Amino acid sequence: MNIDYIKEKLNTLRIEFMAHILVLIALGSGLSKMYLTGAEFGFLNLYTFGIVIFQLIMVNAVYKLHQLYSLVERLNND
């Protein structure tokens, strides 16, 4: 692969990963405030929906981190 393409992809992945981290911080803050005001994990309420979205974003952030590490490894090998 072209090294310039890999560098561009690496910068894009870094920005995506940082966006995931910022969304996780904001969502986690909101969920913790909801929990402290007495929200319960139930069926089809806003708190439950927030927890599900938080977990999906967390899994996606871990996937982006894995992609970032593998791309850095490929860049080091070239």
Q: What residues contact residue 58 under an 8 Å CB cut-off, 6+ apart?
A: 24
Q: Which amino acid is at 75?
A: L
Record the pTM. 0.75
pLDDT score, position 1: 61
State mean pLDDT over 54-71: 90
Inform me whether the pLDDT recorded for 32 exceeds 80: yes
The stretch 63-75 carries a mean pLDDT of: 86
Where do runs of H (alpha helix) occur along the chain? 3-36, 46-77
* Domain edges within the chain: 3-77
